[in-house]
Chain A
Amino acid sequence: MSVTNILLCGIGGQGVLTAAELLAQAAVAEGHDVKKTEVAGMAQRGGVVTSHLRFGPRVLAPAIPPGETDLLIGFEVAEALRWCGELRAGGRAVVSTLRVKPPVVHQGLFAYPEDPVGQLRGRIKGVLAIDARTLAEDLGSMKLMNTVMLGAVADDLPIAAETLRAQVVARFQARKPALAEVNGRAFDAGRAAAHRARAEDAAAE
C-alpha cells in the first residue's frame, strides 16, 4: 500500500491545523506511519494556511509533492480553488462553501471569484461541496464547521469513519466534555451531507 496524501487548506484562525491533527491521530490509530507538516508563524493572522498529511507504511518527506494530493479538504472555497492544482489526476476535493473575503478584497484591490465551486468543477472531477456553515449553525454554533467537514470527508479516506469520529469525540471528552456529544452529531451531519451530495451528483450525471 502506498502513501496517502491529504492536503488541508483554509485561513489562519479557522482551526485547519487542529483538523489535520485529528486526521493524523486517526491514521496513527490505524497503525500507519504518519507525517504532518504546516507552515505556522503567520498562521493566526488571517493568511493562507495549508497542512500536509501523509500516511502509509513508511513516509519520507513531510510535504506532499506537487500534483500528488489524493484528497483536498477546503475549509474555505476560494482557498480550495487556490490549491486544487495540487491534486493528482483522479484526486478528489471536499470543500466547504464558506466564503471569507480578506481585507484586500473589501478594500477593492482584488476580486473574489464569482463562482468558485463552478470553477473547481471546471478543473477537477469529484468535487463535493458542503454547506458546512449552515449545518454547523443548525447544530447551534459556527464553531462546529470543522467537525462537520471532518464528517464530510470521513468516507473518502482509507481510514474507517468510526476511527476518525472516535478521535473527534475523544478530543472534546478530554478538553471540553460538554461539547463532545454535539461534536459527534456535527460529525454525523457532515457525513450525511456528503452522502446526500454524492447521491445528488450521481443523479445529475
Chain B
Amino acid sequence: MPVTVLNRVLAGTRPLMSGNEAVARAVWESGAALASAYPGTPSTEILESLALYPDIVAQWGVNEKVALETAIGASLTGARAFCAMKHVGLNVAADALMSQALAGIHGGLVIAVADDVGLSSSQNEQDSRYWGRFAHLPVLEPADAQEAYAFTLAAFALSERFHTLVILRLTTRVCHVKALVATGERQPHASLGFARDPKRWVMLPAHVRGMIPVQIARDAALAAHAEESPLLCELEGDDPSIGIIASGPAALSAREAFPEAPLLKLGLGYPLPIERIRAFAAGVGRLLVVEETEPLVETELRAQGIAVTGKDLLPRYGELSVAVLRGARARLRGEAAPAVAAPIDVFPRPPTMCPGCPHLAPFYCLSRLRGSLLISGDIGCYTLGAGQPWQAMDACTCMGASLTLANGMAVAKTGDDAEKAVVAVIGDSTFLHMGMQGLLNLVYNRANVTVLLLDNRTVGMTGGQEHPGTGFDIHGDPAPRVDFVALVQALGVKAERVHSVDPYDLPGLFKLIRSETAVNDVSVILTNRPCVLTDRHHSRPALGVVEAECTGCGGCLQVGCPAIQVVRRDRVMTPSGREKERAFVTIDSAFCTGCNACVGLCAPKCIQPLAAMSERCEGV
C-alpha cells in the first residue's frame, strides 16, 4: 500500500482539512471502489485528494455525464461508487441522473455537487437543491469540513438503505474552508455482486411504469425518515422571538449573527422534516428561513401553511454571510443597520492571463481582426480574452458552446455582420468534454466557421489537471493521448483546413487566422504550447528592452503580457499635430518566459534576449 500524505492521517486524530479533502477521506473510509469526476471549481480537489488514497480507483472522466454514468455502472455491479462535479456539471449529467433516479442503485452511490454561491469562478449561480425535488433524491447539506466528512459517510448509508442515489450539496464555503476534522478508519465494503434484473436496470417504458409507484413509496419513506434524521440539529436560544431554519454554511453564519435565536439546522435538506419544523415553529415568534440561494424551503413551508420570513428579507443571490444576516437582523428588529465602512477606491485587479501564456498571441490576433469577426468563446482560462486589453470575445455560455453558438451565428448573421467571419475559441479539455459534437455538427451542416483549438495540455483554470489530451491519468501515470489532428479530421474537417501551429509565432498565427477566416469552410487552427504553470512548459531565456531604443509606441503592451511593464509615460505632438501618449516599457525578467510573442509587435525592434543585450552593452 503506497503511503501518502493523506492516508498517513491517523484515525482519531483531527487534522486541518478542506471540505473537499474531508469528503474524499470519507469516500475512501466508506470503502467505495470507484470515484470519477470532471474538474470544476469549487469541487476539483475532491478527486485530486481521492487519487492519493490506495484501494480505490479514482478517474478523471471526460465530462460529468461520463463520470456519473461510470459511477452508476460500478454501483450496478454492487460496489460503492462516487462522483463529484460543480453545479453546472450536474446539468451535463442530468440525463443520466433523471433516469437512474427512477431505477435507483445497487451499491451505494453518492454525487457530490458543489454550488459556486457568490460566483467566484462560474457562469451562473444555480441552486443544486432543485435536483433533489426534480429527481426525487435526498439532498444532504454539510456546513463545514467536519460535517462534509460525516455527511458523506451518512450519504452512503442512506443510499443503500433507500436504494437511491444521494446528492451531497456542497458550496464554495464548504469546499474551500479548512477546519479540524475528526477522521476514522477505512471500512472495507464487500461488493454485493451484479444483480441481473433487466426489469429494473433496462429503462424501457414497460419497465419504468412499474418503477414509478416504487419511487412514490420511496419518497414517502424518505419523508418519514427525514423527521428522525440524525443529521437534523436543534440549537437552543435565549430569545425565541425569532427562530431560524437554516442549512449549509449559512447556518453557521446565522448562529453567529443571531446568537440568541433558537435554530433548527437541516442536515438532510430534502425531503424536509415538516412535522419537526411545525413543532419548532410553534415554539418561536417569527420563523426566518436562511437558505442559499433560492427560496426552496421557504416556498415548501408556506405550502404547508407554516408562516415564514425568507427572501422578502434576505438576498436571493450570493452568500448569506454574517454581515448580510446582521443587516437582516437589524431590519427584523427595527434597529439601525450596522455601519459598513465605505469601500476604498483602489484600481481593479481582474484575473488575467499569465506571463508567456500561449493564449496571449491568439487573443492579440483576434483583437486586431475583431472588426471583421464574430467571436464565440468557451469555458476556461481563455475566457479572460473577453477582458483587457484584448476584448476579443462576443459570447460565452457553457462548456462546448463556442462551436455550436458559432454555427447559429454563421447561419443567421445579417446586416453589417453578414460579411463578418465567425470564429469559435475552445480549449483542449473543453473540446474533449463537450466540443467534439459541436465540431461534428459544424462539419455536417457545412458551416463556415474557423475554430481556434487552444491546446495547452491541461485543464488550466482549475489548476492543471490531466485529461485524455495530456497523455497522463489522474495519478500522473502515462495514459493514451488523443491525437487532436487525427480527431478533428475524423470528425470531418478537411486535412488542408487543419493547422497545428506555434502560438508564439505571432506573425505566422495572425496570417493563418486571416487566411482561414477568408475560406468558406470549417477550419481548425490548433495551438501547441503547454500551459506555463505546468511542468511541461520550459521557459526560454528572458527578454529585455533596449531602453535607449524604446520609442514608447506601446505596441508590445497590446499582447497583454503581465511581464511587460510601463516605466514612464509622456505626451508628444505628432507631425500631423495630434497629441499622442507614449509608454516606455521594461520587461520584468523574473516573469518573462522568453516566449517571443511580443517581439514582432515592437516597432523599433528593441525587445531582445537579455544575453544578447549584455553583449551589445559590452560592445558599446
> Which B residues lie within 8 Å of A61 (CB)?
249, 252-253, 255-256, 321-322
B562 at the interface (CB under 8 A from A): yes
Contact B176 A38 (CB under 8 A): yes
Contact B349 A46 (CB under 8 A): yes
A113 at the interface (CB under 8 A from B): yes
Q: Considering the complex, which residues of chain B in the window 562-579 have a beta carbon less than 8 Å from any beta carbon of chain A?
A: 562, 564-566, 569
B361 at the interface (CB under 8 A from A): no
Looking at the complex, which of A102-110, A181-189, A192-200 is the stretch in contact with chain B? A102-110
A157 at the interface (CB under 8 A from B): no
> Which A residues lie within 8 Å of B347 (CB)?
78, 102, 104-105, 110-112
Which single residue of chain B is at the shortest CB-CB distance from A106?
B566
Contact A81 B252 (CB under 8 A): no
> Which A residues lie within 8 Å of B121 (CB)?
40-42
A24 at the interface (CB under 8 A from B): yes
Contact A34 B252 (CB under 8 A): no
Contact A45 B384 (CB under 8 A): yes
Give Cα A110–Cα B346 distance, bound, in whole angstroms.
Answer: 9
A36 at the interface (CB under 8 A from B): yes
> Which B residues lie within 8 Å of A84 (CB)?
344
Give Cα A123–Cα B533 distance, bound, in whole angstroms.
Answer: 38
Give Cα A107–Cα B367 distance, bound, in whole angstroms.
Answer: 15
> Which B residues lie within 8 Å of A108 (CB)?
566, 569, 581, 583
B99 at the interface (CB under 8 A from A): no
Give Cα A67–Cα B590 distance, bound, in whole angstroms.
Answer: 36
> Which A residues lie within 8 Å of B566 (CB)?
105-106, 108
> Taking the nearest CB of chain B, how far is it from the CB of A109, in angstroms?
6
Are A36 and B178 CB-contacts (below 8 A) given A41-B42, A61-B256, A105-B347?
yes
Contact A62 B560 (CB under 8 A): no
Contact B120 A63 (CB under 8 A): no
> Which B residues lie within 8 Å of A131 (CB)?
none
Contact among B179, B339, B353 for A34, CB-based, below 8 A: B179
Give Cα A85–Cα B346 distance, bound, in whole angstroms.
Answer: 12
Give Cα A177–Cα B67 distance, bound, in whole angstroms.
Answer: 39
Contact among A39, A85, A104 for B344, CB-based, below 8 A: A85
Q: Considering the complex, which residues of chain B in the window 369-388 have a beta carbon less than 8 Å from any beta carbon of chain A?
A: 381, 384, 388
> Taking the nearest CB of chain A, how far is it from the CB of B17, in angstroms?
11
> Which B residues lie within 8 Å of A112 (CB)?
347
Q: Which residue of B343, B344, B384 has the most chain A CB atoms within 10 A of its CB atom?
A: B344
Which single residue of chain B is at the shortest CB-CB distance from A85?
B341
B415 at the interface (CB under 8 A from A): no
Which single residue of chain B is at the shortest CB-CB distance from A13?
B354
Give how many B residues have a beta carbon under 8 Å from the other chain's beta carbons.
60
Which single residue of chain A is at the shortest CB-CB distance from B45?
A40
Which single residue of chain B is at the shortest CB-CB distance from A59?
B179
B305 at the interface (CB under 8 A from A): no
Interface size class of A (residues with CB under 8 A): 35 or more
Give Cα A36–Cα B15 distance, bound, in whole angstroms.
Answer: 13
Give Cα A78–Cα B345 distance, bound, in whole angstroms.
Answer: 10
B499 at the interface (CB under 8 A from A): no
Q: Mark A84-108, 1 if CB is under 8 A from B, else 0.
A: 1110000000000000011111111
A142 at the interface (CB under 8 A from B): yes
Which single residue of chain B is at the shortest CB-CB distance from A39?
B120
Contact among B173, B326, B342, B557 for A63, CB-based, below 8 A: B173
A18 at the interface (CB under 8 A from B): no
Contact B176 A107 (CB under 8 A): no
Contact B177 A34 (CB under 8 A): no
> Taking the nearest CB of chain B, how far is it from the CB of A133, in angstroms?
11
> Which A residues lie within 8 Å of B562 (CB)?
46, 102-103
Contact A24 B388 (CB under 8 A): no
Are A35 and B353 CB-contacts (below 8 A) given A61-B256, A81-B344?
no
Contact among A44, A62, A78 for B463, CB-based, below 8 A: A44
Which single residue of chain B is at the shortest CB-CB distance from A21?
B178
> Taking the nearest CB of chain B, how far is it from the CB of A65, in angstroms?
4
Give Cα A63–Cα B339 distance, bound, in whole angstroms.
Answer: 18
Are A62 and B461 CB-contacts (below 8 A) given A28-B16, A106-B566, A107-B389?
no
Q: Considering the complex, which residues of chain B in the window 2-58 have a beta carbon less than 8 Å from any beta carbon of chain A?
A: 16, 41-42
Give Cα A9–Cα B381 distance, bound, in whole angstroms.
Answer: 23
Closest 5 A/B residue pairs (Cβ): A41-B121, A45-B351, A47-B351, A110-B347, A41-B41
Q: Which A residues have a C-beta under 8 Å from some C-beta of B?
A: 11-13, 21, 24-25, 28, 33-42, 44-48, 59-63, 65-67, 78-79, 81-82, 84-86, 101-113, 123, 142
Q: List 27 A-B contacts (CB under 8 A).
A: A24-B178, A28-B16, A33-B179, A34-B16, A37-B177, A40-B120, A40-B176, A41-B116, A42-B121, A44-B354, A45-B353, A45-B461, A61-B321, A65-B321, A65-B326, A66-B340, A82-B344, A82-B346, A84-B344, A85-B344, A101-B565, A102-B348, A102-B350, A102-B352, A103-B388, A103-B560, A108-B569
Q: Which B residues have a C-beta under 8 Å from some C-beta of A?
A: 16, 41-42, 116, 118, 120-121, 144, 172-173, 176-180, 249, 252-253, 255-256, 319, 321-323, 326, 339-344, 346-354, 381, 384, 388-389, 461-463, 533, 557, 560-562, 564-566, 569, 581, 583, 585, 590
